[in-house]
Amino acid sequence: MAAKTERTFIAIKPDGVQRGLVGEIIKRFEQKGFRLVALKFLQASEELLKQHYIDLKDRPFYPGLVKYMGSGPVVAMVWEGLNAVKTGRVMLGETNPADSKPGTIRGDLCIEVGRNIIHGSDSVDSANKEINLWFKAEELVSFKSCAYDWIYE
């Protein structure tokens, strides 16, 4: 199992923080069986956000996205587990909440794409890049959860 274990970067956006959804979102990842290995509550700098969304810099919504993400605090997290990136994306739902299924975070908790409350890495490569951008290596905690053997065969 260890070879298939991966880490993903998840960020609760300012709208999710302001609406008091941090606990609900963390609860969903914990209940799924993923292990939280890093967490920060911060006001992200414009420089950090521009770097995070660098792949979108040529899109017309880029300036507004960077401004919005800097409009309030965010919760940056790293979750670890089997297929954490793919499963995390499924848990989030579609980027546009209107296209998200009930039971997903966006399907249950938000309405508009511009206020879709959460970001999740879309690939293992992106996850590694985002984790390294938001966290120092020493901020990632490695441990074996006592529930590990009850989650994995």
The crossing angle, in degrees rounded to 10, of helices 124-134 and 84-92 is: 90
Is 119 catalytic? The answer is yes
Could you tell me how far CA 109 lies from the centroid of its own chain?
A: 15
- Is 27 known to sit in a ligand binding site? no
SS3 138: helix
- Is 83 known to sit in a ligand binding site? no
Q: What are the tokens at 90? A: 């499924």
Pairwise CA distance, residues 14 & 45, whole Å = 13
Which entry of 119, 127, 131, 135 is annotated as an active-site residue?
119
- Is 7 known to sit in a ligand binding site? no
- Is 95 known to sit in a ligand binding site? yes
Q: What are the tokens at 48? A: 């950090």
Question: Which residue numbers belong to the known binding site for ATP?
Answer: 13, 61, 89, 95, 106, 116
Annotation: binding site: 13, 61, 89, 95, 106, 116
Q: Among all residues, which ones are annotated catalytic?
A: 119
